[in-house]
Amino acid sequence: MSALAMLASCADKDAYTVKMEMPENEVGNSAFIVDSRTGAKLDSVMIDKTDVVFKGKISEPTLAMVTIGGYPYAQFVLEPGDITMTGEGLATGTPANDAFSAYNDSIGAIVEELQNASEAQAQDIYVNRIVPASVDFIVANPESPFALPVFGQVAMYLDADQIETATAASKQLAEDPDVQRTLSMARAKAATSAGNKYVDFTVNYDDKDYKLSDYIVPGHWTIVDFWASWCGPCRREIPGIKALYDQYKSKGLNVVGVAVRDKPEDTLKAMEQDGVTWPVILNAGMDVLQTYGIMGIPCIMLVNPDGEIVARDLFGSQLNEAVEQAMK
């Protein structure tokens, strides 16, 4: 009887319930709990009324989704305990879910600000407010199945120090190949940020080599624009660059574009449509992005007459102010 009591105690520790309310139009369908990583179905329930309850056992916390008809309805950590899904699709009632819910609450108001922010403002909000909160969440919850998704949401805005802080706290992040690549890109970005000399590269197109150094003239300021024809934000920056080029080219301002991961014929068509009159290096690939640690385009940088990068990741008014200051 002692052995049976022990087994029952262990079984209770692995038991979970997931309570949630379903839309009325889903009554009659089946809902599934699915492993977010593997896609394996872990549990199911027939939706015979709007309030449903999943019951089962799980040996270790697993990032999971509730799906209906193959479509994801909510993501949460399936772990032992009594889990309640809120109307907003957030789970509460167990340690990992409560921690993630608190994180969401902490950035909720900030995310609302993003809805009315310009691109430059949105970048500032991400870098200075959301990113630190996300790193703090990972450090405080290193074993949470949510650590990797939270990292992924802000990865392109993290610097090398922040990634190293997160990976030092979380083994799952430290061993993840995508996180390792992100750290490598962040280190490359740090090496090509303000205060460093620009790094030359060579791109082959139509059996001819083109170097960045062919277009950066010593003694002149140069805007370097990494872009692609398929990138909407990139195309929206072109009129501003054109205005600066027209205003200051007589004073020695150079502009060179670098079309990355774009078909040359598409780049040439976009150049004609947008009135690009400066040279563009065609057919640049992932190796160029890796050289500069670029995880999102457009990436616009300003190089001074000595070949030093004075600023990068410039957008809109930031680029205007940087160039106007340089031309003084």
pLDDT tens readout for residues 227-282: 999 999 999 999 999 999 999 999 999 999 999 999 999 999 999 999 999 999 99
pLDDT tens readout for residues 198-219: 999 999 999 999 999 999 999 9
Domain locations in the chain as residue ranges: 2-90, 98-191, 202-327
HEC string of 19-49 equals EEECCHHHCCCEEEEEECCCCCEEEEEECCC
Is the pLDDT at 10 greater than 60? The verdict is no
Is the pLDDT at 164 greater than 60? The verdict is yes
Q: How many angstroms separate the CA atoms of 57 and 42, rounded? A: 10
| Percent of residues, the chain, with pLDDT higher than 90 | 83
In the prediction, which pLDDT does 4 show? 47
CATH of the domain spanning 2-90, picked from 3.40.50, 1.10.3720, 2.60.40, 3.30.70: 2.60.40
Mapped onto helix, strand or coil, the DSSP state of residue 56 is strand
**DSSP string of 95-152?**
HHHHHHHHHHHHHHHHHHHHTT--HHHHHHHIIIIIHHHHHHHHHH-TT-TTHHHHHH
pLDDT tens readout for residues 165-185: 999 999 999 999 999 999 999
Residue showing tokens 């930031």: 318
Query: What value does the mean pLDDT take over residues 100-120?
Result: 89
In the prediction, which pLDDT does 8 show? 47
Per-chain mean pLDDT for the chain: 93
| Percent of residues, the chain, with pLDDT higher than 70 | 97
pTM equals: 0.78
CATH C-level class of 202-327? alpha beta
Mapped onto helix, strand or coil, the DSSP state of residue 199 is coil
In the prediction, which pLDDT does 1 show? 55
pLDDT tens readout for residues 271-292: 999 999 999 999 999 999 999 9
